[in-house]
Amino acid sequence: MPRSKIAGLGFYVPKNVVTNDDLAQRIDTSDEWIRERSGIQERRYFTPGEDTVANMGARAAQMALDRAGLKAEDIDFIIFATLNPDYFFPGSGVLLQRELGINHLGTPALDIRNQCSGFIYGLSIADQFIKTGMYKNVLMVGSEIHSSGLDFSDEGRAVTVLFGDGAGAVVLSATDEEDKGILTTKLHADGEQAEKLAVLAPTANEERHISKEMIDDRRVFPVMNGRYVFKFAVEKFPEVIMEALNETGYKTEDIDLFVPHQANLRIAEAVRKTLGLPPEKVHNNIMKYGNTTAASIPIALNEAWELGKVKEGDLVCLAAFGSGFTWASALIRW
């Protein structure tokens, strides 16, 4: 049975850097509070008229394709993960396909909505299609523009300071090489917690799916029970990682590099300590980009790879937790 290996990685972040001090001029917050609670120092915001969810994804995808030595025409299947799509419908996958100039080929595009776990959910879907032999090259993209949907009033400050814009992509290719590529993926969800971290409007469930009231009562902005999410996350991250390790017969000390979803440096640290991993085996870059949801893992993995932290034969562990709740892990032999 073929396996899926990561043949190329890419990323794109908008040029507009927004520091904690910049935010403190717009809302009642401080550099000290944001750094202490989350580790974030700055994030990127998109430029309207220049960056779109789809074209940011396409720039990341093109980099991943170039590094894989492939052309967009070689892609058999596109998976696009975002929580802030360009349109209510259609999904951003078809827009990315158009951006890449392969619409005439009819390349299929699937949109998934698994928020912070979107990248690993997508990786798992890609892996299943490759293992069955249906596709050889799958493009997996996570792209997010959060900044246009954040609440810049004091009420929304706990959420607003955490998020940033960006895109990441990988090309997954079929390989017959022994013990290489994705070894396993583990996916979970708990819908009981859906409203603990959510944007509740616009919604199809009301007389008009968008209304002035929704804006007036701030339902168009994200809500989050931060403490609750934090507690759940620090429990589920190690659980889903151990599940992947146990299935494949590895131990935590076999992990060469751990790249967690970049939600909060304190969460990543707590998970690292629970797993007993030394700091040098974990790659974090939330300091520079904040939480970019479905894009956070591919952006961080790309950076780790560029820094030479991922070497041939390494055991790489990815894990995520987020809205849904959803959580997931992946073990990859590089």
CB 223 within 8 A of CB 198: yes
In the complex, minimum distance from the CB of residue 199 to ligand UT7, in angstroms, rounded to a whole number: 13
* Residue 54 binds ligand UT7 (CB under 6 A): no
* Residue 245 binds ligand UT7 (CB under 6 A): no
* Residue 227 binds ligand UT7 (CB under 6 A): yes
Chain centroid to Cα 243, Å, comes to 21
In the complex, minimum distance from the CB of residue 67 to ligand UT7, in angstroms, rounded to a whole number: 27
171 vs 229, beta carbon nearer ligand UT7: 229
* Cis amide linkage into residue 325, ω under 30° from 0: yes
What DSSP assignment string belongs to 192-235? GGGGGEE---S-TTSSSSS-HHHHHTTTTS-EE-HHHHHHHHHH
157 vs 186, beta carbon nearer ligand UT7: 157
Whether 317 is a known active-site residue: answer no
Cα separation, 14 vs 11, in Å, equals 10
Q: Report the site for ligand UT7 in 306-325 (rule: CB under 6 A).
A: 322
Classify 131 as helix, strand or coil. Answer: helix
In the complex, minimum distance from the CB of residue 234 to ligand UT7, in angstroms, rounded to a whole number: 9
Cα separation, 129 vs 3, in Å, equals 10
Amino acid at residue number 107? T
Whether 261 is a known active-site residue: answer yes
* Residue 267 binds ligand UT7 (CB under 6 A): yes
| Residue from 35, 37, 188, 219 binding ligand UT7 (CB under 6 A) | 37
* Residue 116 binds ligand UT7 (CB under 6 A): yes
Cα 280 to Cα 258, 283, 287: the distances in Å are: 9, 7, 16
38 vs 55, beta carbon nearer ligand UT7: 38
* Residue 83 binds ligand UT7 (CB under 6 A): no
- Which of 20, 55, 291, 302 is catalytic? The answer is 291
| Residue from 7, 68, 95, 158 binding ligand UT7 (CB under 6 A) | 158
92 vs 292, beta carbon nearer ligand UT7: 292
Whether 205 is a known active-site residue: answer no
- Which alpha helices (H) appear in the chain, and where do they start and end? 20-24, 31-38, 53-68, 92-99, 118-131, 157-160, 212-216, 226-248, 265-275, 286-289, 296-306
94 vs 267, beta carbon nearer ligand UT7: 267
- Which of 116, 137, 285, 317 is catalytic? The answer is 116
Helix axes 31-38, 265-275, angle to 10 degrees: 20
Return the active site residues. 116, 261, 291
Binding site for ligand UT7 (CB under 6 A): 29, 33, 37-38, 116, 157-158, 161, 226-227, 229-230, 233, 263-264, 267, 291, 322
